[in-house]
A and B are shown apart, each in its own frame.
Chain A
């Protein structure tokens, strides 16, 4: 006969103000199998846990119901508590009488009845619990870092520094990411390349870090501690072991195409490195634009190369590697402003994005740092910056605030005035959001020291007239309509999720939100974790972030991975499904229903017919215990430990 202890928590007034906890405890004591029941102010506190421990000892309890808050909060606490007293930690049930009762009801009488019912349901279940044993799984102590921007670079450096291996997979021909495209950084105005390139060199030199550029992760299988990633390293058409990075190939290449790195404001050749400090300094041939690949003639780069590094026959390489943790650092892209018909719908050459402005003002950009109009190369005398394009706009863009545009626009205004002290810079803003260390001061500096004009209001229209752009808007502080003749307009387009974010999320088995941004484990308490253990987030793939926040989350994510690596093996949850082969007809309903691919088919000898037949079988290490298979199966062959059919039916009957 089970000896159940029931412990009712007041949670201060959170539960006790709506639920008559004393009555619940008194009535629970009368329920079948209950040997002891008590209530207490804070069951999770030390005295509360001691109360449970002493009751186990004194009343010889063999299982426990705690009626308190959600199990997602304190289930581990109470499992630990009863385990210390020699009980199996799975001989515990939590009745959630806070989130699912006291917080959502007003009527004290009815809430008390419901609380008692929830307690009874938990009692019925725990009476049928069996001790469950955790097994251990080994950990591969290597981290896969997806994305080689500042986020991925920092995460890899931190993992490498701790003595563990990290592998960066970067889609572009070089690591460096968005930060490499920036000119200066706010609020200190140090040059982005000057602070980024040392980190790029560090990461390239670290013996613990391997970098695959021009590569993509195609498939991830496995589970925490034991992921397998299939990586496609695209053919560079250049042998990296032979190439010295001398540059004669791209100097000779006759084919010019728009440079993605320069945001289509400048050219690159078909064989190219994206920027001078590229790591690795090994060019790639863009086969879609290479004359030889398209028309079968040219091979000028091959002739120019003294070391014979050009290899037109090179093929994509598929690499499979094992990892214990995955750090997702895939970054962001910019909102496409072509939906703003009132701003020219992307048709005006002199209406550019903030990232394009970075390239215009950068000394290794297409204009060598001179701020010239993309349309005719004339110098810019008047520039208008428009904030919140594609962000804070429920009609046409994202509802959220993109968070750093205020700062980068202030920086752009300041840089423009630094380049053109006689020029005029105007900023249209909704609010100035400069929350960050030295940020407000920086915006003030742009306004007061450099004379950037700030106008509070939206721009209603931008149009071309006689070689100028006319910007019409409202100055809501002055209560006036404003019309500015500008040479250049810079739209502060918001940061958004990358186009393929959803595919990446599906590949990794992590959730994403309505904006396709990856969802953190908990918005406050697990900001770099995901609900999939062993997969961590850093940088702007989770939400728009500036460089300091990106670097901070990178170090946080690597600390989480390192925490994992500090163990030799992991304890696995024993709440997994088993399939009774005698009941299985191999209909595959469970295989279809399993989101984790944890059900395989095996040959099994049927004792009734003495014949071999195919049946479904759970790979326990992959099973997350979601229970999908248990309800998909018509015969009830799968059963979930800790949520057995017997337990669940007992709960239903107890209602």
Chain B
């Protein structure tokens, strides 16, 4: 099982822990990740807000390298995933003008040859939940996890084709396979407000508050995410939310790769757990897992 690995900017900066834990987990599971040499921006945010051509051409440049490597591409960041998926869709649809333009800009004739997958799909699908279950060495049965999917993994469904867009279950199934308890809760695809982080913090606080509250109502010990922007937003906002709403949330927000890593017995230093803002220390102590370094 070998993939071209597209980390994207977050995983090389603010989400180092996601990158670390994804690589560590894949190493243990025998999933080979080969980083795309010379990868560039995926075209999210600044590119896709300003130039449609750029928003396709940038991911095509990256995917064309993966094509030359003869590999399918795996992404961890939900935004990268979305941009790469959209580019594949556009290039496969072969709408005359756009495709020719991209060919010219990028200087190749990429037509969606490298399939794009999120690491969740690789682990739950290609690797398989049964195989994963067999690799579990730590007992997580006391842990109650609220899986939070956010927006770009599941939407728009005709692009991502990722699970049920309104009731996704992939991460819940992984949680169950790891032996932890996936709580049923209604906010798994609600917006976390990440893109309004700087402009309308008031809205973001309300959205985050509602997500924490619903997760807490269901007795969740932590949130589980698969997107570096959700993670950053949900992880960092808790003190602000607590001040504004008089609440006392202290919900660790883990990447799904970190939880898998814990279940597989990977040392917490290799999972970047110390980089989380809301420390998982107490939680892990309570559930009998070893302390993060």
A340 part of interface (Cβ distance < 8 Å): yes
Instruction: Tell yes or no: B288 within 8 A of A by CB.
Output: no
B37 within 8 A of partner (CB): no
The docked-state distance in angstroms from the alpha carbon of A470 to that of B164 is: 21
Q: Nearest-CB distance from A622 to chain B (Å)?
A: 46
- A465: nearest chain-B partner, CB-CB: B217
In the assembly, what is the distance between CA of A395 and CA of B167, in Å? 15
Chain A contact residues, CB within 8 Å of chain B = 340-342, 345, 395, 461, 463, 465, 470
Which residues of B does A touch, CB under 8 Å? 157, 164, 166-167, 185-186, 217
In contact, B186 and A341 (Cβ under 8 angstroms) = no
- Give the residue of A341, A465, A470 whose beta carbon is less than 8 angstroms from that of B166: A341
Q: Is the CB of A461 within 8 A of B157?
A: no
| A342 to B167 CA separation, bound complex (whole angstroms) | 6
A-chain residues with CB within 8 Å of residue B167 when the two chains form the complex: 341-342, 345
In the assembled complex, how far is the CB of residue A475 from the closest CB belonging to chain B, in whole angstroms?
17
Chain A nearest CB: distance from B30 CB in Å?
A: 34
Chain B residues closer than 8 Å to A465, beta-carbon distance:
186, 217
In the bound complex, do residue A461 and residue B164 qualify as a contact, i.e. CB atoms below 8 Å apart? no
Nearest A-chain residue to B206, judged by Cβ: A481
C-alpha spacing A1/B164, complex, angstroms = 73
Name which residue of chain A comes closest to B158, CB basis. A395
What's the least CB distance linking B182 to chain A, in Å? 15
B157 and A470 form a contact (CB under 8 A):
no
Taking the nearest CB of chain A, how far is it from the CB of B42, in angstroms?
Answer: 26
Whether A340 lies near B217 (C-beta < 8 A) is: no
Q: Could you tell me the distance between the alpha carbons of A341 and B189 in the complex, rounded to whole angstroms? A: 12
Once the chains bind, are A395 and B157 in contact (CB under 8 Å)? yes
Task: Say yes or no: B217 contacts A342, CB within 8 Å.
Answer: no
A–B pairs, 14, beta carbons within 8 Å: A340-B166, A341-B164, A341-B166, A341-B167, A342-B166, A342-B167, A395-B157, A461-B166, A461-B186, A463-B185, A463-B186, A465-B186, A465-B217, A470-B186
Q: Contacts of A340 on B, CB cut-off 8 Å?
A: 166
Distance (whole angstroms) from the CB of B191 to the closest CB of chain A: 11
A349 vs B102: C-alpha distance in the bound complex, in angstroms?
52
- In the complex, A406→B167 CA distance in Å? 27
Please measure, in the bound complex, the distance between the C-alpha atom of A461 and the C-alpha atom of B164, giving whole angstroms: 14
| B164 surroundings in chain A (CB, below 8 A) | 341
Contacts of B157 in A (CB 8 A): 395
Cβ–Cβ < 8 Å partners of B186 in chain A: 461, 463, 465, 470
Interchain nearest-CB distance for B26 vs A (Å) = 30
List of B residues within 8 angstroms of A395 by Cβ: 157
Closest chain A residue, CB of each to CB of B168 = A341
With the chains together, A470 CA to B210 CA distance in Å? Answer: 13
Tell me the minimal C-beta distance from B62 to chain A in angstroms.
Answer: 30
Query: Shortest Cβ distance from B154 into chain A, in angstroms?
Result: 11
Minimum distance in angstroms from A341 CB to a CB of chain B: 3
Minimal beta-carbon separation of A340 from chain B (angstroms): 7
Cβ-closest chain B residue relative to A341: B167
| B166 contact set on A, CB distance < 8 A | 340-342, 461
Most chain A beta-carbon contacts within 10 A, residue among B157, B164, B167, B185: B167
Tell me the complex Cα distance, A526–B186, Å: 49
**A175–chain B nearest beta-carbon distance, Å:** 40
Specify which chain B residues have a CB less than 8 angstroms from the CB of A345 in the assembled complex. 167
Give the docked Cα–Cα distance between A470 and B213 (Å). Answer: 14
Contacts of A463 in B (CB 8 A): 185-186
A345 CA to B157 CA, complexed, in Å:
17
Residues of chain B contacted by A342 (CB below 8 angstroms): 166-167
- Identity of the chain A residue whose Cβ is nearest the Cβ of B157 in the assembled complex: A395
In the complex, what's the smallest C-beta–C-beta distance from B2 to chain A, in angstroms? 34
Known A395-B157, A463-B185, A465-B217; further 12 A-B contacts with Cβ < 8 A: A340-B166, A341-B164, A341-B166, A341-B167, A342-B166, A342-B167, A345-B167, A461-B166, A461-B186, A463-B186, A465-B186, A470-B186
Give A341 to B157 CA distance when docked, in angstroms.
14
Q: What's the least CB distance linking A221 to chain B, in Å? A: 45
Compute how far the CA of A342 lies from the CA of B149 in the bound complex, rounded to whole angstroms. Answer: 14
User: Smallest Cβ distance from B185 to chain A, in angstroms?
Assistant: 8
Which chain A residues border B217 with CB–CB below 8 Å? 465
**In the bound complex, what is the Cα–Cα distance between A395 and B164 (angstroms)?**
12
A-B pairs with lowest CB-CB distance, top 9: A341-B167, A463-B186, A342-B166, A341-B166, A341-B164, A461-B186, A345-B167, A342-B167, A465-B217
Q: What's the Cα separation between A395 and B158 when bound, in Å?
A: 9
- The residue on A at minimum CB distance from B169 is A341
